[in-house]
Every structure is written in structure tokens, then in C-alpha cells.
């Protein structure tokens, strides 16, 4: 009771430094939690975001580039695959489903992907979840200039069934490179929280035969998405395409391929973590400095308390509790800051990749980091507390002249 | 048995040059329960040091201070703190109120280190010293005389057996000084507390039946050490 009263009053008396110190701790806590959660969720979401696909077949090249291009609609396509290769894959008894995709055009910066309707009707958006259309729409029909628009694109561009658009050549928007072909939107995908939301889907033949595309490669596809019947099939195809063959790349297993992305970015994670730890250390230092400096002004108050009968241990505990309270206040603010940072980061990641992070998802770091920082704050109070503990009473009772 | 009995109490301070200068050297002093005693002496005679030694805020180099049956010179520091909070009420010349706390909280804090905070008694005491309508005022919002009255209420809140008053009227004008002195004496009398008051004001000293000169009592003061 006395402790709380002493701490409360002290915090109030040094309100500005209390708030500034708590804010610096909040920044450290918010950063630490955000870095950890983004890292973990991004890894889990990306590696689990391969939908119902087990592998991707593409031109000879880096597996990671192939997967990022075919499943996440990032990066450039490593090259083309002959339609016959798709047919071979499709007819393989070890393959449950193979769907070709073709890329190379965009509409106002959003990628256009040519495919077959069985991508929507036979494959899954995510394990156990099918693609669905918003009411009033229908899938495009192969052979027609029709399109199904991802939910994110529809929302951003205001597209709805019945609207028309003319694609632009290339993966990046260039107003001078508009095709003559006009497509009609037949449906809008319900949000799937996958990269499919960021794409305009058209019939495979539509993209292959778009005006201005090379006739020689008009039957090629960019990649083939593959659903296997078993893991053994993956090993067989890996052997066939990657080890025995030298013309195509078979990216399998997808989780392992995508993990390379995060392994490559490991240094970046470490830098972010290091920054967060440094901010935490600086914040703890500011707790120490703030309380330590305030002790000069409080020497007389501490002496008065001791003269009234307060024990040294009470004075010590009050300083530790004060440091802990500042840290706890900082952590309360840190959760707010975390929500803001995560909201911004998840919005950016969604806009760039279609992958949706959940800022409100439970993660142990949301408790561990604040507890650790409160502990660090308490630790930062030890030095000032020792100084307060040893504050001589008699010589500090008289006011400073 | 005397409430306070001091024998051969000595205290020295080390100078910046490494020498030990005696500040207090009192061969003997006693005070009975409920007794009112004034100690006189000019500046530098070790008055405040003497009171701090009795309160256990400072420890002597040698000698004995027997206060209410406890030898303050052999008690551990926590035990001295407890004994001080339970037995002594201290009134300072500069009041020493905690500026971040209200009048009521200042009194309650004083109580909380002793028998425990008693809000009713704290209010009643502040009412008694004429500050019943200033309970939630902070010290800076009070006049000098009012601040001293809060300090008096705080010192007497635990019903101490001994009240130490170090120049309690030194910062007050004559009218306020007379009022404060009367108040301290009245409250001590009401509660049966002994009072050991230090002052160099002849008007204050004259109000006490027993007066002692620290210049005489403290042999160290004759060495002309100025502290």
C-alpha cells in the first residue's frame, strides 16, 4: 500500500520522463513482438500457402524463382514449358491433377494469369477450401475473352461482373503497351487470403494468343501446377526431371523450396532482431538514467521517509517497483504499437503478395517479450535502487541551499 | 526509570583532511516520561547531531542511548528504524514535508511506518492543528506556519513517547512561532509525550521549566567545531 503510494506519486512527479521512458520501452516491445510475429507468421503462411499443390514444373532454372512466380505471382517466369510437357505430366499416373498457367501480361500493374477452369473447379485454394465466386458471377469459359478477378484486385480496381478491360503487355504496367483484346469480367473470387486474390484470371488460350504475343510460342505455358498422388511420386519425378533431365525444373517439395526464401532472408531477420534488442537495451538504459537522475532531486524525500521510520529495504523496493511500473506501462503501450505495426506490415504484405498475416493471432512472444522487458526494466532499477538504499539520512534532511 | 538516558555518548566526523573532529561528547543526560525540556545552544554546538543520535538516524562512536528500554547504540539499523517510528516523533526546523504528498498523506505516511495508518486519527489531528479544511492541499499550497502545523501533526500522529523538535520555530515569524510552540506543548501534554526541544530563541526557551545548555552539556562543543 505504502509502496504503491510512493511509486504512484513519484511517477506523477516525474510525469514527463516517465512517459518518455515508457514510450521508448513501448517502441522496443512493439518492435520486438512485431519482428518475431512477422517472421514466424510469414514463414508459416508462405510455406503453408501452396494451396493444394505439391509441386511446380517449369523451365530449367531456380526452383525458388519458379515457385514464387507460379504460386505467389512474384518474380519473372524463368521461361516457358512446351504444352506437350504439360500433357506428359497430366497423363502421368502418379499425378492427381496438373494445371498449366501462363503469365506475361498485366492490367494496371496486377498480373494476368492464363489457366484452365479446373484450377478453380478441381483444385483447392487452400487445403480443404475451394475457390468460390461472389454471388452473381460465373467461371470464365475456355475459348472466350472472359476473366475471373481476384477479390483484392476487384476491390482495388472496382471491377465487377460485366465490366471490361484491355490487358497490358508485360508484368509491369506500361500504358503504351496495351493489347487490343478486350475481356469481360464474368466473376469475382471470394477472398481466399491467398495470392490468387491479387490476380486477374483468364483462359489459358486467351493469354497464349493475346495480340502481339509471339506465334511461335503461342502453345507454351509458363509453368504447370502439380498435385501428386503420393510422396513417392514426387521422388520419382524429382529424379526424372531434375537429376536425369536437364531441360525442365521440378520444384518439390514446395515447403522446402520456400524455406530457402527465408533462409536467404535470415540475415535480414537477424538485423531486425538486433535492432529491436538494441532498442530494448537503450530503453532499459533510459529507465536507469531517468530514475538515477531523479534521485538527486529526491535525496531529501528519501531521507525524510527514512527519518520517519521507513527502512532501507522499503526505499530499495520502491525504486525497483517504480522501474517495473514504468516498464509495465511501456508494455501496455507496446501492445498498441504492435497492433499498429502489424496492421501496417500485414497490409503491405497482403498488397504485395496476397498473403494475409493475422495481427491478432496468438503467439507466445506476445507475452514473453513484454515479461522480459518488464524484467529488464526492473533490472535497470537496481542501480538507482542501490543508490537510494545507501542515501545518507542525516546529511540529506536539510534542504539544499 | 527515565524515558531517555544517555551516558558517555561520543560522535566524531571525519574531515576532508582525514582528521576526526568530535562533534558530540555528552557524559550524561536523562529525560523522564512526559517531561518537557529545552536545549539551548548557538550554531555549531552539535544540536541537530545530538537529536539525530537520539533518533537513531546517526550512530554514535561510543556510549549508550537508552530509549524506552532499548539501547539505540546496539540495535540493528532496521530495529532502530522500527523503534524510531514507534517511539519518536520528529519535528524539523525546515518541516521536511514530502512535497508530492497532500497534508493528509504526509500524516498517514508518518503513521504507516509506526503502528499503521489511521485515517480517522490523521484527519482529527489535522483538524486539531487547524487544517481540517486543507487535507488535500499539497505543502506548497500552504503558508509556512501551516506547513509547520502539518509537521507537528505528523510528529504526534503515532502518539510518540518522545517528541524531538529541532528549532521548530526557527523559520516562523514571532506570532506563528508562539502559536506553533503552544500547539506542540499542548499536544505533547495531551498525549503524555516527553518533549526535547532545541532552540536558540530566548522566548522559546523561557517557556520551559527545564532548560539545558548544550554548550555545557556537550563537551565537544567547547572545541569550537563548526558543523
- Mutation pick from B50, B57, B104 vs chain A, by most beta carbons of A within 10 Å, is B57
Give yes or no for a contact between B57 and B49, defined as CB atoms under 8 angstroms apart.
no
pLDDT at A347 over 80: yes
To the nearest whole angstrom, how far is the Cα of A316 from the nearest Cα of chain B?
13
Q: How confident is the model at residue A29 (pLDDT cuts 50, 70, 90)?
A: very high
Instruction: Please provide the average confidence, as pLDDT, over all residues in chain A.
Output: 89
Rg of chain B, C-alpha, whole Å: 17
Contact A304 B85 (CB under 8 A): no
User: What would the pLDDT profile of A138-194 be if each residue is shown by its tens digit?
Assistant: 999 988 999 999 999 999 999 999 999 999 998 889 999 899 899 999 999 998 888
User: In this predicted model, which residue has the larger pLDDT, A52 or A360?
Assistant: A360
- The number of folded domains in chain B is 1
User: What would the pLDDT profile of B74-90 be if each residue is shown by its tens digit?
Assistant: 999 999 999 999 999 99
Query: For chain A, how far is it from start to end, CA to CA, in angstroms?
Result: 33
Instruction: Please provide the average confidence, as pLDDT, over all residues in chain B.
Output: 89
Average of per-residue pLDDT across B40-58 = 88
Average of per-residue pLDDT across B125-154 = 93
Share of chain B above pLDDT 70, in %: 96
* Domain ranges (residues) in chain A: 2-46+265-397, 55-252
Contact A311 B96 (CB under 8 A): no
Give the per-residue pLDDT at B227: 42
Give the per-residue pLDDT at A217: 64
Give the per-residue pLDDT at B222: 61
To the nearest whole angstrom, how far is the Cα of A351 from the nearest Cα of chain B?
52
Share of chain A above pLDDT 90, in %: 52
Contact B81 A311 (CB under 8 A): yes
Which chain B residue shows the shortest CA-CA distance from A310? B113
Interchain contact B49–A (C-beta under 8 A): yes
To the nearest whole angstrom, how far is the Cα of A401 from the nearest Cα of chain B?
12
Q: Which domain holds residue B9?
A: 4-223
To the nearest whole angstrom, how far is the Cα of B126 from the nearest Cα of chain A?
18
Q: Which of A10, A12, A310 shows the shortest C-beta gap to B113?
A: A310
Contact A309 B101 (CB under 8 A): no
List all residues of chain B from 88 to 117 with a beta carbon under 8 Å from chain A: 90, 92, 94, 96-101, 105, 109-110, 112-114, 117
A152-155 long-range contacts, CB within 8 A, separation 24+: A152/A191, A152/A197, A152/A198, A152/A350, A152/A351, A152/A354, A153/A107, A153/A110, A153/A197, A153/A198, A153/A199, A153/A200, A154/A188, A154/A189
User: In this predicted model, which residue has the larger pLDDT, B56 or B18?
Assistant: B56
Give the per-residue pLDDT at A355: 76
Name chain A contacts of B162, Cβ cutoff 8 Å: none
Contact B81 A10 (CB under 8 A): no
pTM flag (> 0.80)? no
DSSP A162-209: T-EE--EESSS--GGGB-S--EEEEEEBPP-SSGGGG-EEEEHHHHHT
pLDDT at B226 over 50: no
- The CATH number of the domain where B49 resides is what? 3.40.50.300
Peptide bond into A253 cis (omega under 30): yes
Name chain B contacts of A393, Cβ cutoff 8 Å: 52, 57-58
- Mutation pick from A305, A306, A307 vs chain B, by most beta carbons of B within 10 Å, is A307
User: What would the pLDDT profile of B166-203 be if each residue is shown by its tens digit?
Assistant: 988 888 888 888 888 998 999 999 999 999 999 888 88
Name chain A contacts of B110, Cβ cutoff 8 Å: 308-309
Q: Which of B82, B90, B105 shows the shortest C-beta gap to A307?
A: B90
Question: Among residues B114, B162, B164, which one has the least CA distance to residue B151?
Answer: B164
Contact A307 B154 (CB under 8 A): no
pLDDT at B62 over 80: yes
Contact B96 A10 (CB under 8 A): no
- What residues contact residue A303 under an 8 Å CB cut-off, 6+ apart? A391, A392, A393, A394, A395, A396, A397
Alpha-carbon distance values, A198 to A72, A134, A285, B121 (Å) = 9, 15, 45, 73
Amino acid at each position: 500500500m505504502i509502496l504503491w503510494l510512493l511509486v504512484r506519486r513519484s511517477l506523477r512527479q516525474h510525469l514527463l520522463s516517465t512517459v518518455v521512458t515508457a514510450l521508448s520501452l513501448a517502441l522496443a516491445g512493439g518492435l520486438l513482438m512485431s519482428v518475431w510475429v512477422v517472421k514466424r507468421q510469414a514463414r508459416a503462411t508462405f510455406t503453408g500457402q501452396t494451396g493444394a499443390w505439391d509441386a511446380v514444373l517449369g523451365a530449367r532454372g531456380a526452383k525458388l524463382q519458379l515457385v514464387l512466380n507460379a504460386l505467389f505471382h512474384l518474380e519473372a517466369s524463368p521461361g516457358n514449358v512446351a504444352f506437350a510437357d504439360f500433357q506428359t505430366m497430366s497423363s502421368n499416373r502418379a499425378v492427381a491433377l496438373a494445371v498449366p498457367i501462363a503469365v506475361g501480361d498485366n492490367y494496371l500493374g496486377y498480373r494476368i494469369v492464363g489457366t484452365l477452369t479446373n484450377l478453380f473447379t478441381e483444385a483447392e485454394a487452400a487445403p480443404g477450401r475451394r475457390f468460390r465466386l461472389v454471388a452473381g458471377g460465373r467461371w470464365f469459359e475456355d475459348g472466350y475473352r472472359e476473366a475471373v478477378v481476384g477479390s483484392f484486385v476487384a476491390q482495388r480496381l472496382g471491377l465487377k461482373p460485366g465490366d471490361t478491360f484491355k490487358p497490358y503487355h508485360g508484368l509491369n504496367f506500361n500504358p503504351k503497351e496495351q493489347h487490343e483484346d478486350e475481356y469481360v469480367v464474368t466473376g469475382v473470387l471470394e477472398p481466399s487470403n491467398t495470392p490468387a486474390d491479387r490476380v486477374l484470371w483468364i483462359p489459358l488460350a486467351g493469354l497464349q494468343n493475346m495480340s502481339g504475343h509471339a506465334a511461335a510460342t503461342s502453345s507454351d505455358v509458363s509453368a504447370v501446377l502439380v498435385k501428386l498422388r503420393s510422396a513417392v511420386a514426387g521422388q520419382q519425378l524429382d529424379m526424372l526431371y531434375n537429376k536425369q533431365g536437364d531441360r525442365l525444373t521440378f520444384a518439390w517439395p514446395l515447403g522446402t523450396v520456400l524455406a530457402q526464401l527465408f533462409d536467404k532472408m535470415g540475415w535480414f531477420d537477424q538485423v531486425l532482431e538486433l535492432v529491436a534488442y538494441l532498442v530494448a537495451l537503450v530503453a532499459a538504459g533510459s529507465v536507469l538514467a531517468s530514475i538515477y537522475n531523479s534521485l538527486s532531486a529526491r535525496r531529501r524525500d528519501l531521507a525524510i521517509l527514512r527519518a520517519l521510520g521507513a527502512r532501507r529495504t522499503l526505499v530499495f523496493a520502491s525504486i525497483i517497483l517504480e522501474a517495473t511500473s514504468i516498464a509495465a506501462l511501456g508494455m501496455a503501450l507496446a501492445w498498441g504499437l504492435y497492433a499498429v505495426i502489424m496492421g501496417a506490415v500485414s497490409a503491405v504484405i497482403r498488397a504485395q503478395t496476397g498473403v494475409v498475416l493475422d495481427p491478432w493471432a496468438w503467439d507466445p512472444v506476445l507475452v514473453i517479450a513484454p515479461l522480459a522487458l518488464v524484467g529488464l526494466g526492473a533490472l535497470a532499477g537496481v542501480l538507482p535502487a542501490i543508490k537510494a538504499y545507501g542515501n545518507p539520512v542525516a546529511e540529506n534532511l536539510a534542504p539544499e541551499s | 526509570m527515565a524515558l531517555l538516558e544517555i551516558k558517555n555518548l561520543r560522535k566524531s566526523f571525519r574531515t576532508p583532511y582525514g582528521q576526526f573532529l568530535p562533534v558530540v561528547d555528552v557524559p550524561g543526560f536523562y529525560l523522564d516520561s512526559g517531561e518537557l525540556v529545552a536545549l539551548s545552544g548557538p550554531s555549531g554546538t552539535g544540536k541537530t547531531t545530538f537529536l539525530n543520535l537520539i533518533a537513531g538516524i546517526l550512530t554514535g562512536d561510543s556510549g549508550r542511548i537508552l530509549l524506552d528500554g532499548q539501547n539505540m547504540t546496539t540495535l540493528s539499523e532496521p530495529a532502530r528504524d522500527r523503534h524510531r517510528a514507534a517511539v519518536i516523533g520528529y519535528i524539523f526546523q525546515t518541516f521536511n514535508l514530502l512535497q508530492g504528498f497532500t497534508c493528509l498523506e504526509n500524516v498517514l505516511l508518518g503513521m504507516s511506518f509506526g503502528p499503521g495508518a489511521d485515517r480517522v486519527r490523521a484527519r482529527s489531528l489535522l483538524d486539531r492543528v487547524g487544517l481540517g479544511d486543507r487535507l488535500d492541499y499539497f505543502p506548497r499550497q500552504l503558508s509556512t506556519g501551516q506547513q509547520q502545523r502539518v509537521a507537528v501533526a505528523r510528529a504526534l500522529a503515532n502518539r510518540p513517547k518522545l517528541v524531538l523538535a529541532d528549532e521548530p520555530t526557527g523559520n516562523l515569524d514571532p506570532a506563528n512561532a508562539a502559536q506553533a510552540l503552544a500547539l506542540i506543548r499542548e499536544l505533547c501534554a495531551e498525549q503524555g509525550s516527553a518533549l526535547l526541544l532545541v532552540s536558540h530563541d530566548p522566548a522559546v526557551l523561557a517557556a520551559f521549566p527545564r532548560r539545558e545548555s548544550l554548550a555545557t552539556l556537550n563537551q565537544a562543543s567547547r572545541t569550537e567545531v563548526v558543523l
